[in-house]
Amino acid sequence: MQEIVERLGANDTAADIARTLLLPYLNHAATMYESGYATHDDIDAAMRFGCGYPIGPLALIDALGPQTVATGLEKLFAETGDELHQPVSILTQMAADSTTFAQAVGEDEVDSPQLRHDIETVGVVGTGTMASGIVEVFAKAGYDVVYVGRSADKLDGVQARITKSLDKAISRGKLDEDGKSAVLGRLSGSTEREALAGADIIVEAIAEDLEVKLELFRDLDRIAKPGAILATTTSSLSITACAAATSRPQDVIGMHFFNPAPVMKLVEVVTADETTPEVAETVRALCLSTGKHPVSCGDRAGFIVNALLFPYLNDAVKLHEADGGSLTEIDDAMKATKLPMGPFELLDVVGNDVSLAIQETLVSTFGHAGWLPAPTLQQLVADGKLGRKTGAGFHTY
């Protein structure tokens, strides 16, 4: 951490780039905390486990010093006039009081969620990469899993992906043949949704299309037993809307896994308007039982990770457009602060079309003019240069 602090405090072009991009990100994280949207621990854990960052944003503010961050933002605000660069009140107050986020939350109780619903059988709807990963996560944790797809070929694809993953674990000495057999023995595939009738929780991981999801939730409402939890893995759609399609909105919740699900530890547990505390607590406990790290937040565009990550990525594009550095210079400057990837490398991995869609959703929700998608990002999408999946994006592959 000290190395990161020293890098950000340096007097060179790379440090200027890093400060220009990280200060608004830190301000946004402080705003998220101040609004009560998510806790200190959950905001920091979300960025560490969801993005692989070496330190969460609020812990980084503490390490740099709230006064240093507030002063840097004031300088940036004077240069840009962007309201998003004006230090949020909690930062200026901490700077004045010489306090930190760690001190502010030092007496918080440790959250130890319990299963308030019995969970023995998990249902999964979907047969893509994310769905297959979720099936694997639950089966490896000892749960019986029923997964549903449109065809036998799709179901076979799930089995094949999980078998390949387990074989890889065996080759690395992390699993034996008996363990593999046990995991595969917990799986049951079906082309009929009625096979989900006995599941204690059903997790859908189908197309990111609201109408498609609403149709599914109406059907799950018919099929699922009373008290079964209905979860969606959506990263951008309204959980409240999905809940409203059922007669049991109190049992509907978001479980935003990160890809690849068997590897990534983070799950954003997203409560809708009517989700009961018992359902939310059960889902957090369930995540912990599978080795995942749950963070809690409300049903709002971007949740924690995307709401903090994508404005930063968009800012990187705008900095490049303003001749603030070449693609490589900006990527290298951010990796020098121990981020796992530079912003343009990450945009190309995520997909520029996906990134643009998320940024547009954030703007429509929050209305910040400073978050309007960068013209270069829009142009790359219009040109079909979507990143690694098309062979070209900000970089060429």
Residue 95 to residues 70, 349, 391, Cα–Cα distance (Å): 7, 37, 46
What 316-319 contacts at long range (C-beta under 8 Å, 24+ apart), as own/partner pairs, is 316/21, 316/343, 316/344, 316/347, 317/343, 317/344, 317/347, 317/374, 317/376, 317/377, 318/374, 319/17, 319/20, 319/21
In the set 28, 117, 256, 320, the catalytic residue is 256
Residue 385 backbone phi and psi in degrees, to 5:
-95, 85
Q: Are 250 and 230 in contact (CB under 8 A)?
A: no
182, exposed or middle or buried, with CB in 10 Å at 0-12, 13-18, 19+?
Answer: middle
In the set 204, 268, 281, 345, the catalytic residue is 268
Q: Are 279 and 201 in contact (CB under 8 A)?
A: no
In the set 165, 296, 306, 352, the catalytic residue is 306
In the set 132, 165, 235, 355, the catalytic residue is 235
Q: DSSP per residue over 73-99, as a string?
A: HHHHHHHH--GGGSPPHHHHHHHHHT-
Residue 365 to residues 127, 237, 360, 362, Cα–Cα distance (Å): 31, 12, 9, 5
Is 395 known to be catalytic? no
Rounded to whole angstroms, how far apart are CA atoms 194 and 208?
A: 22
Is 321 known to be catalytic? no
Rounded to whole angstroms, how far apart are CA atoms 397 and 390?
A: 9
Is 314 known to be catalytic? no
Q: Which helix (H) or strand (E) holds 125?
A: strand 121-125
Is 256 known to be catalytic? yes
Q: Which residues are catalytic?
A: 235, 256, 268, 306
